[in-house]
Amino acid sequence: MNVLVIGGGGREHALCWKLARSPLCDSLYCAPGNAGTATVAKNLELDVGDGAAVVEACRERDVSLVVIGPEAPLVAGLADTLSTAGIAAFGPSAAAAQLEGSKSFAKEFMQRHGIPTAGAHVFDDGAALQAHVETCPIPTVVKADGLAGGKGVLICTTRDEARAAGEAMAVEGRFGDAGSRVVVEEFMEGEEATIFALVDGESVVVLQASQDHKRRFDGDAGPNTGGMGAYTPVPAVDDEVFARAVNEVLLPTARGMAADGMPYRGLLYAGLMLTAEGPHVVEYNVRFGDPECQPILLAMESDLLPLLLATAQGRLDEAEPPVFFDGATLCVVLVSGGYPGPYDKGLPIAGADAEVDENVVVFHAGTRRADDGTLLTSGGRVLGVTARGATVVQARDRAYAAARTIHWDGVDFRTDIAARAIR
């Protein structure tokens, strides 16, 4: 079969890398892709925001399955457009994608279906928001309601930080339309973890737990980012915690969406806080997380394509369950200097094309090729150096050894990925 992957980041390179290994995959395309996806798929210059253009590209190339990587096309309804055209799409409908597209929608959904999460207040009025942050318990969490590229969450540990967050949303409009509605949540104590599940209506196939590192600097300091690294499995998610997450979060979410007339079909990402009372939902994503996707797919030893196709076609209950590597995998994200603030682009990258060994893969996120073949930076998160090992320590050591051979002007990365697991 012919497959099209939508997107151009590290997640999409990982998806293409994995799908290209499937004996079921004849031709693989990626739109718009990056320098990494071009090594395993044919990149297409395609406006993925134009549903009609995506449908036409699929028909021209006899594409049987479209795997939608990023959240924005899902929220905009690309899966609906493809399904209407008779093309199988891996990804939820626009209605179901509101789980990520609107944090207030997700909060109301969880409250309605008894899914554990932090208490919250929702504000459409800037003055009411600013009044609330003057009196709410501290610490608190202030979130832009809409899509903000993983950067619309402000964790406030002091009253001054809460005031500044309120001002950023209500006065500065820092997150544009995404911040026109704001959710202020109770702060939850605990360790964070993510569990992915494939869902087609009420059938659920759960993948491994992983742990992302959102804050920019070592020790979880600095601003939130799209993700600085991740690893799997997570020692804090033992069998009991995993079972509770499945039975108290993932299954009720799938059943609740079906009951509400918005059956979910695609990858459901449950971002969890492991509190003293059990796992609570921090947020939903409606697609593979980036960078969690990279270590999860390197850890998956079975074929991904039949699972994605079965999910898209509503027959997940017939699919063989996935098989995972009996060890650990870890991704460290190499970023441009200044990220998540302003940064330079077009900087030559040295060392990323070198073959390491079968246990290390360098996934591209923000890269492109110059006309002369030189690999250049084109984003804030540039590469995801991903390795596996018998233990998390071995996976970490392999990833960092490879990361230190890669260079461009201003390259930076966190040095403490998986420190909690190792402790």
pLDDT tens by residue, 390-416: 999 999 999 999 999 999 999 999 999
Which residues have CB under 8 Å from 300's CB, separation 6+? 18, 207, 322, 323, 324, 325
Confidence band of 346 (pLDDT split at 50, 70, 90): very high
State the Cα–Cα distance between residues 352 and 333, nearest whole angstrom. 13
State the Cα–Cα distance between residues 308 and 139, nearest whole angstrom. 40
Match domain 125-180 to its CATH number in 2.60.40, 1.10.10, 1.10.357, 3.30.1490: 3.30.1490
pLDDT at 354 over 80: no
Q: What CATH code is assigned to 189-318?
A: 3.30.470.20
Average pLDDT of the residues in 223-250: 96
Compute CA distances 179 → 144, 148, 234, 238, 305, whole Å: 4, 8, 32, 36, 36
Between 210 and 423, the higher pLDDT residue = 210
Going by C-alpha positions, the residue among 83, 114, 71, 109 that lies closest to residue 260 is 109
pLDDT at 166 over 90: no
- The count of other CB atoms within 10 Å of the CB of residue 94 is 17
Q: Are 398 and 331 in contact (CB under 8 A)?
A: no
State the Cα–Cα distance between residues 44 and 50, nearest whole angstrom. 14
Least confident of 163-172, 297-306, 320-329: 163-172
- The count of other CB atoms within 10 Å of the CB of residue 230 is 29
Average pLDDT of the residues in 346-361: 90
Tell me yes or no: is domain 2-90 CATH 3.40.50.20.
yes
Helix, strand, coil % (nearest 5) of the chain? 30, 30, 40
The residue ranges of every structural domain in the chain are 2-90, 125-180, 189-318, 328-422
Average pLDDT of the residues in 292-298: 98
Return the structure tokens found at 284.
Answer: 């939903």
Give the CA-trace dihedral at 240, 245, 250, 251, to 10 degrees: 40
Confidence band of 169 (pLDDT split at 50, 70, 90): confident
Average pLDDT of the residues in 208-228: 94
State the Cα–Cα distance between residues 285 and 148, nearest whole angstrom. 12
Class level of CATH domain 328-422: alpha beta
Amino acid letter, 342? P
pTM for this model (two decimals): 0.94
State the Cα–Cα distance between residues 65 and 40, nearest whole angstrom. 17
Compute CA distances 244 → 195, 251, 402, whole Å: 12, 10, 37
Confidence band of 210 (pLDDT split at 50, 70, 90): very high
